[in-house]
Structure 1
Amino acid sequence: MFSPPPIDNGIEVSGEYSLPIVILSIIIASLASFTAISMNERIQKNSFFHRNIWLILASIAMGFGIWSMHFVGMSALSLPFKMHYDYLLTCLSIIPSIIASFLAFYIVNQKKRSFASYLLSGIFMGIGIATMHYTGMASMVMEAYYVYNPWMFATSIIIAIIVSFIAIYIFSRQQKYAKNNYIKAITSIMMGLAVPSMHYIGMAGTTFYLPRHQAMTAELHMNMTLLITGVTIGITLLLALLQLSSLVDRYVDYRVSHIDILTKLPNRRSFEKALNDDGSYRSIAVWNLHNLEKVNNDHGYHFGDEVIQYAANVLRQLNLPLSDLYRIDGNRLALLLQGNDRLIELQQAMKIISAKWVQPILIQEKKILLQGVCAISTIDDQQSPKRLYSDILAVLSSPSIQYQNEVIRFDPLIHTYSFEQEILNSIDQAMKNDDLFLVYQPKVNAGTQKIVGLEALIRWNHPEHGFLSPSVFIPILEQSHRISDVTNWVIFKVCHQIKIWEEQKLPLYQIAINIPGEYVTSPRLLKTLKKALNKYSVNPSHLELEITETSVMESAESSMRAINTFREAGFSVALDDFGTGISSLSNLRQMPISTLKIDKSFVDEVPQSEKDSAILEAIIALGHSLNLNVVIEGVETKNQVDFLSSSESLLLLQGYYFAKPMIPEELLEWIKGNS
């Protein structure tokens, strides 16, 4: 293997390389790397496929690229003797590269990564490349024989390991800091160079000898059949895998972002898109199931889900022509109709539904009575479809609704003005006049009971209605899509307050801001955050963005991308109200959040209830096992504080036991008294 033959036994021969085919081999290796990296990114995201499927596909893509590059590279070398390959050994030589790629990608995708893990991944990948190469060399059947230079042999393996390590390290770091196609392409080229560099250095250290009795052929031979076959199979497979990844990406994004998981109906995003983009809709009907929350409380959320599914199926079975059904909210289903003069048809159809729901319905052998209201509206050709839903909101906000399955048509004389509209009409003035203001509630360490952070909360001192509870006006703002404007106002107010405290040489704490679900994925949010930070010279580490579990799960793919963007920009991200929405334990490990905020409902019966206490302790342990900060909100009694402080000193506690939400002046006095 390493010893040259006696001088009398063989004649040293050399070959020539075809530069275009050498370049082609590098392109194949780089393309394989790009495909593998693209699939490896799917491991970090939500998908209908298990992450291991993407891991295997990435490994196959990389392994096949290494294999294809080797044999294309060998075809680029013309030698003065005939040669062919042992087909069995040729096929088996792909296995080391696939296994090595799998191990490297598996290690680098672990949650806890270190320099050692990057190095180990590079070693696996480099050894896999070298093993594939030298196994491929062993598959050559020829009358000549070859000898390896031991120094070049070792150098080729070391080069493969070093370049693989650098490529994997850059790729892993760019996932966190600079996720873009340019760096992905650079990484792919570096990974692609690791394979050819090892190959051609290894070949440079390989000397071929032809027995003296064997005459050299007059021509240098190039295995064109192998070249064409290798390139065709390799490129076809790589493009097929890349296309599969792209198709699945688009399919997953569409399903998660535009389809309601429970009813399989288009969701609110699709509904809004239809109203904004399609001018053919002229009529609308919206069913608001008023008692769904009571059903959930009495029978459980699974039962409530079946009620929603039942209602959706009943409306779906109407089969009205030129109509589309949507689930636009937890308890609201909307039917959009195309075409003019369909009001009577729509009214009759909705009255049929109403008549069905006047009688109890049977779910899980339980009879329940649905209580709701159906609002309908229609427009003419001169009016915008966007007006349809605002008319519906005006109907649904009417105080005269009895929720006895009425079918109510929008009437501008009755529904033009309401309390909700008064709220919407006065919100801009409230922000301008500081009728809307912020209060701050402290978060304290469970062990030391010292303040470690704050949460900013909105309050409204209305000039006519007095102090309004957020539970009154926030849902109105959310339904009318004005909550994003108020959120922007909150962001600027918080940054301004941080600047004031900094100028006063006061201690600065991280401040949590609640981000409404529909606004999490909006590009406008990040622009507003950056603008506020720049205006007041605030570090993003001083802000924590609180998003609810339900909002994340309603648009998981888009939310994950948004959260990643926030983390890359330097913000902390908290998952608020954990446990109150759709169960997300399987997805929690994939969320790039920094804080888990446990809802008040889990604390209310602690420590009296052993079951509640056990559940709370399990959730806390889960959060800390994922290296997350854990905040318990709604702490109101000494017993709760004693229980939480004794069980876990790393917890952050928030609630009226320590302090109510306070205006800045009150907060400073509280801090002085508790320092």
Structure 2
Amino acid sequence: MPRENNLYSSTNDLLRILHHNMNLMFVIRRRKGQFYCSFLSGKLKEQLELPDIMPSTDQEFNPEFLSLQNSKLTQAFTGKEITYRHHFHNHYLYTMLSPVIKDGEVIEVVGTTIDITSFEKSEQQIEFMATHDILTKLPNRQKLLDDLDRMIHNNQHEKPKAIMICDLDRLKNVNDTLGQFAGDQVITLIADRLKENVQETCSVYRLGGDEFVIVIDQEVADVKAFAEQILQVVRQPIIISKHDFYMTATIGICCMNEKACKTEDYINRASVAVHYGKVQGGNRISEYTNEKSKQYNELILLESDIRKAFKFNEFTLSYQPKVDVHTNEIVGVEALIRWEHGKKGKIPPSLFIPIAEEIGMIDQIGEWVLREACKQFVRWQESGANPVMVAVNISAVELQHPDFLSRVKQIIKETGMDPNYLEIEITENSVMQNTEECIEMMNELRSMGVSLSIDDFGTGYSSMGYLQKFPINYLKIDQSFIKELFEESGSAEIIKAMIQLGHTFGLKVVAEGVEGEQILSFIRNQKCDYYQGYFYSKPLEADLIEEKLLAFS
């Protein structure tokens, strides 16, 4: 192949090639501390609408742009090669400055500028996708954490007043009815409503699923009033596929006045508050407290275990004998649920019953206890033992269930239980809720032959009025009074008054928590009818109770 010693026959050819180059080529010289352009060429010059001859003044350029250029050129004239990104006329540019050195002195700087607008926009799109929710275009969880971290730790003046999680209630119903697409429409619509209705100083994020987060600024005077406004926004009707929907939400609030180890701790606290609002029925506002945090940890650990307990037959019943004060014979038993966890051992009812109430499992547990106690009564009868009263505790939640009466009737029928030996124990506070409904329900139970007792008497309202109104049979003095009989001044007089009060209204009185002969002697002298407690026996398994009943028979 023949060699060419000179590729370009003239300087004009070189200039023509540079002019058709896609980039911007330029040469900068400096005279008396001023920079001036001695050469400017390339197609990018036309795209940037630069003149063939650069103006002698700087008036046509943005001051910020000029400041950046002067700074970079000053560095280049020290002999350093400089590269940098900058923005000019809606273009993102990448510029390289190469100093030309002669006799140890920089005589000029040769520059090349590349248009990286498409690359920059792609980067911005990738950044947006990494920090924003695709469906709602709201900032996502990662963006929330980054923003909170900046606001909390870098600038105390920007620290938010509170964090609010807004969790949509029963979105699953929309998904199940109209499909996932309709559910996405609901989420998008709610996101738009939140963006439109929050104050400019507050920020909205999508945490994930059906959860949104609002970071509340210090300028918001009343956080709870603001939360109520958000609930009203969510409650507005939604029309999708010609169907009207009325959504509700549960809001959890974490105020930022308490320090946290990590930024995410604030979000977790708001989540705890939301969870409590959910188990209480949703459609409400719940604010985080330390007490809720402690209970939440127990809830998380035991919630799924409670559901599994039925599957693994971990629930059992023990029976606390109710004994005649004068004859010391068993006249009845109280059915008490026990939980033998497969890995954690015995878990006391005082721990798991409140959790069962919060997660909506108490109805199922209560029904199981009632059915098992009735079955056991029948088994004792079949063994030849004399029948005794079987008492079952009923929670306030169960008592207010519309199907409670029909459920009791059905269990009596299925098990063959004699209702005349069934006793239902109700706490003071539970009977004081929905008083008229309770009276009607209790009268119906009495008409069936079921006996009723007020449990833990003295710990609630202690009103004499309801003792006349309610059709009850037994009054059970709470064990806290019995145990303090000889320890607290006045306890003896209180117990005397309770026994007399019960007898005045024609009720049989039961003392709970009797653990010594001295206490038994005292209540016997006061004409108390029955007692329960470890002095006679701790709660026993069904077969041990059967032995005692057969012995008396």
CA contact (8 A) 1:375 1:392 kept: no
Please give the secondary structure, in 2, of the residue aligned with 1:577.
strand
Q: 1:591 to 1:432 in 2, by over 3 A?
A: same
Query: Letter of the aligned partner of 1:657 in structure 2?
Result: F
AA of the residue aligned to 2:456:
D
- What residue in structure 2 maps to residue 320 of structure 1? 225
What is the aligned counterpart of 1:669 among 543, 547, 551?
547
Cross-structure match for 2:538: 660
Residue deviations 1:328-363 (CA, integer Å, cap 9, x gap):
xxxxxxxx823259xxxx78x8628x67xxxxxxxx
Q: State the Cα distance separating 1:577 from its structure 2 match.
A: 0.8
Greater displacement, 487-496 / 578-587: 578-587
Structure 1 residue 501, shift from structure 2 partner: 1.4
1:566 is aligned to 2:445? yes
Distance in 2, matches of 1:427 and 1:445, equals 36
Letter in 2 for 1:619: M
Higher relative contact order (CA 8 A, sep 6+): 1
Indicate the larger mover: 424-433 or 483-492: 424-433
Check if 1:351 corresponds to 2:230.
no
2:232 to 338, 354, 359: 338
Deviation string for 1:22-79 (max 9, x for gaps)?
xxxxxxxxxxxxxxxxxxxxxxxxxxxxxxxxxxxxxxxxxxxxxxxxxxxxxxxxxx
Assess, with a 3 A threshold, how the Cα gap between structure 1 residues 511 and 377 changes in structure 2: closer, same or farther. Answer: closer
- The counterpart of 1:593, out of the listed 472, 491, 499, is 472
**Residue identity matched to 1:320:** A
> How far apart, CA to CA, are the structure 1 residues paired with 2:465 and 2:455?
17
1:492 is aligned to 371
- Tell me, in whole angstroms, the C-alpha distance in 2 between the residues paired with 1:588 and 1:276: 42
Quick one: distance in 2 between partners of 1:535 and 1:654? Answer: 30
Equivalent residue letter for 1:470 = P
Q: Supply the AA of the counterpart residue of 1:666.
A: L
Alignment equivalent of 1:502, drawn from 381, 384, 387: 381
What is residue 399 of structure 2 aligned with on the other side? 520
State how 1:27-426 maps to structure 2 within 5 Å.
Answer: 320=225, 323=228, 337-339=231-233, 351=255, 402-403=290-291, 419-426=298-305
Q: Is the 8 A contact 1:276 1:386 kept in 2?
A: no
8 Å contact kept, 1:548–1:575? yes
Q: How many angstroms apart in 2 are the aligned matches of 1:586 and 1:394?
A: 35
Corresponding residue for residue 448 of structure 1: 327
CA distance in 1, matches of 2:515, 2:284: 40
Distance 1:637 1:647 in 2: 16
For the 8 Å contact 1:526–1:566, the answer to whether it is kept is yes
Give the letter aligned to residue 501 of structure 1: W
CA contact (8 A) 1:521 1:562 kept: no
Alignment of 1:435 with 2:314, yes or no, is yes
- The answer to whether the 8 Å contact 2:386/2:550 transfers is no
The aligned amino acid for 1:546 is E
Percent of aligned positions with the same letter in both sequences?
Answer: 31
Local SS of the residue matching 1:622 = helix
Structure 2 Cα separation of the partners of residues 469 and 337 of structure 1: 38
Query: Residue type matched to 2:492 in 1?
Result: S
CA contact (8 A) 1:377 1:388 kept: no
Question: Residue type of the partner of 2:538?
Answer: K
Structure with greater strand share of residues: 2
Specify every segment of 5 or more residues in structure 2 that has no aligned partner in the other structure, as ranges: 1-167, 175-185, 192-220, 236-250, 259-268
Deviations 1:516-543 (A, max 9, x none): 1111122322222111111122121111
1:655 to partner: Cα distance? 0.5
Provide the secondary structure at the position in 2 that maps to 1:546.
strand
How far is 1:317 from its partner? 7.3
Deviation for aligned residue 1:639: 0.5
The residue identity in structure 1 corresponding to 2:387 is L
Q: Give, as a single letter, the amino acid of the residue that structure 2 aligns with 1:434.
A: N
Q: Equivalents in 1 of 2:306, 2:476: separation in Å?
A: 29
Q: Does the 8 A contact of 1:499 with 1:536 survive in 2?
A: yes
Deviation string, structure 1 residues 553-587 (Cα, Å, up to 9, x no partner): 23323222222221122211111111101232232
**Whole-angstrom distance in 2 between the partners of 1:393 and 1:421:** 21
Q: Which residue of 2 aligns with 1:529?
A: 408
**Residue equivalent to 2:427:** 548
SS in structure 1 at match of 2:455:
strand
Alpha-carbon distance, 1:646 to partner: 2.0
Partner Cα distance (2:315, 2:434) in 1: 30
| Offset from partner CA, 1:373-417 (integer Å, 9 cap, x none) | 8666679xxxxx968968999998xxxx855x99x9xxxxxx8xx
Q: 1:579 aligns with which of 458, 480, 498?
A: 458
Aligned-pair CA distance for 1:551: 1.1
| 459, 483, 489: which one aligns with 2:338 | 459
**TM-score, normalised relative to structure 1:** 0.42
1:605: how far off?
2.2
Secondary structure of the structure 1 residue equivalent to 2:485: coil
The code of the aligned residue for 1:628 comes to L
Cα drift, residue 475 of structure 1: 1.0
Determine the C-alpha separation between the residues in 2 that align with 1:503 and 1:662.
19
**Cα shift at 1:421:** 4.0
Q: Judging changes above 3 Å, is the alpha-carbon distance between structure 1 residues 374 and 322 closer, same or farther for their aligned structure 2 residues?
A: closer
The one-letter amino acid of 1:461's match is E
Q: What CA distance in whole angstroms lies between the structure 2 residues aligned with 1:604 and 1:447?
A: 20
Q: Deviations over 1:159-194 (max 9, x none)?
A: xxxxxxxxxxxxxxxxxxxxxxxxxxxxxxxxxxxx
- Consecutive unaligned residues of structure 1, counting only runs of 5 or more, are 1-273, 284-315, 325-335, 356-372, 380-384, 409-414
After TM superposition, give the deviation of residue 506 of structure 1 in Å. 1.4
CA shift, 1:545, in A, is 0.6
CA distance in 1, matches of 2:274, 2:411: 42
From the superposition, tell whether residues 636 and 663 of structure 1 become closer, same or farther in structure 2 (CA, over 3 Å).
same
Larger radius of gyration: 2
RMSD: 4.3
Distance 1:275 1:622 in 2: 48
What is residue 494 of structure 2 aligned with on the other side? 615
Once residues 319 and 435 of structure 1 are traced to their aligned partners in structure 2, the CA distance between those partners, rounded to angstroms, is 42
Report deviation, 1:457: 0.1
Please tell me the residue identity of whatever aligns with 1:482.
M
**How far apart, CA to CA, are the structure 1 residues paired with 2:222 and 2:462?**
30
Aligned residues: 319
The amino acid that maps onto 2:535 is Y
Q: Given the two structures, how large is their TM-score scaled by the length of structure 2?
A: 0.50
Distance 1:388 1:520 in 2: 17
Find the aligned partners of 2:545 and 2:476 in 1 and give their Cα distance: 22
Q: Which amino acid aligns with 2:255?
A: K
Q: 2:508 aligns with which of 618, 629, 633?
A: 629
Whether the 8 Å CA contact 1:607–1:639 is kept in 2: the answer is no
- Provide the residue aligned with 1:651 in structure 2: 529
1:638 Cα deviation after fit: 0.9
* 1:427-483 deviations in Å (ceiling 9; x for gaps): 344234431000001111111111111100000111011111111111110111211
SS in 1 for 2:225: coil
Question: What residue is the counterpart of 1:471 in the other structure?
Answer: 350
CA distance in 2, matches of 1:652, 1:393: 46
